Homo-oligomer: A and B are copies of this chain.
């Protein structure tokens, strides 16, 4: 079963906004088993909306449409649908009462403009909106069932999941299966090269498999999509190919669909029951921010210092002025002193120190822009240090460096966990 996605809004055709709704809906519909035949975006232009809907009503069975349901004069979707169907607009008392109630709970009177959001093409099925003022609606245009939702992503997603999915899921026959593998540590082209022969264009020529890639810098997600007759066969095939891919990518694959590398590393910290701290210079708080984005991060993040200026390295972390003078702020000895300084100050198990040149200025022939020095300080054992030169602009260098720091934590924790596992095995067998 196929579907088309329509977006209405001059802000889209003028390029003021990227159409994230089309991506979200496409992913949902694909997961449900639909084939999405097209995305069509048109401006707030009644004639163009009407013409597009009438054409798609001849070609499709399901139309999912977003945008143009707001209260202002340039929101024309509802009127255009009524025109396409040759029916009048009818005001729905219940919807009007709900919109008024929404304003009342915020101690505001409903602006008269919003009354328009209670108007629907005669005969439409109304889709109540619990998270915003604009209700959605559904009508039949030609041979298609067409669903209209506001363009605000949160409201659109609510209406789709609550009202649209139950009505259309019976139409979709799920025959395909997709497995996601999240990786961090290699460029997309190198990830692709390692598993290219598994893809349908590759040496095995298995036309049932499509491998896709999605880069969320600096992470690369691999998607193994299988279409092998029915859902069970597809799942089995996708999982089998995914196992091979994970084996080829075992040094960089860390999780599945909804994972992120910071969350994975946070999971390791929790599992190991350790506390960490950061001493950040060029990353300016980015690593600590990534780790504390996660709910419950106080379990493992104690804190950190952002020692952007040299004086801050000295005052907050006790890095000696002699060390700074002798080696320069961007050096492994200074990274080590930063990591050890914060580890001791906050009495944590592991701490990472980061100092580098994010750019665009500040580089030299010896230490070009992108040079970043790292150190990992541990409660027991010597500190580790490393230096990398990352390519790209300031933002890219900072993100590369932040992920590198996360990996230093991950490697240290994994080794500890593995060691304690071996120790337990040894004890048990001994």
Contact = CB atoms under 8 A, between A and B. Distances in A.
Given A19-B19, A30-B15, A298 B309 contact: yes
Given A13-B38, A17-B23, A40-B40, A199 B72 contact: yes
A306 B305 contact: yes
Copies in the assembly, this chain? 2
A429 to B, nearest CB: 39
A313 B345 CA distance: 11
Nearest to A282: B292
A176 to B, nearest CB: 10
A315 B345 contact: yes
Contacts of A73: 199-201
A43 interface: yes
A89 interface: no
A316 B309 contact: no
Contacts of A288: 284-285, 306, 308
Nearest to A342: B316
A285 B306 contact: yes
Interface in A340-388: 345-347, 359-361
Interface in A1-33: 7, 10-20, 22-30
A71 B48 CA distance: 36
Contacts of A289: 283-286, 289
Contacts of A193: 111
Interface in A212-255: 212, 214, 223, 225
A296 to B, nearest CB: 8
Nearest to A292: B284
Given A42-B37, A199-B72, A22 B19 contact: yes
B16 A214 contact: yes
A293 interface: yes
A19 B359 CA distance: 30
A142 interface: no
A260 interface: no
Contacts of A24: 15
A422 to B, nearest CB: 31
B43 A48 contact: no
A302 interface: yes
A36 interface: yes
Contact of A346 (B23, B28, B315): B315
Given A285-B285, A306-B278, A15 B23 contact: yes
A38 B42 contact: yes
Contacts of A13: 26, 35-39
A130 interface: no
A201 B72 contact: yes
Nearest to A394: B295
A297 interface: yes
Contact of A23 (B19, B26, B360): B19
Interface string A152-187: 000000000000000000000000000000000000
A61 to B, nearest CB: 16
Contacts of A286: 285, 289
A17 B188 CA distance: 15
Given A26-B14, A72-B199, A284 B293 contact: yes
A311 B72 CA distance: 53
Contact of A311 (B11, B18, B22, B302): B302
A67 interface: no
A348 to B, nearest CB: 9
Nearest to A313: B303
A395 interface: yes
A307 interface: yes
Interface of A: 7, 10-20, 22-30, 35-43, 48, 52, 72-74, 111, 113, 193, 199-201, 210, 212, 214, 223, 225, 275, 277-278, 280, 283-289, 291-293, 295-298, 301-309, 311-313, 315-316, 345-347, 359-361, 394-395, 398
Report, nearest first, the 3 A-B pairs whose CB atoms are least far apart: A284-B292, A285-B285, A73-B201
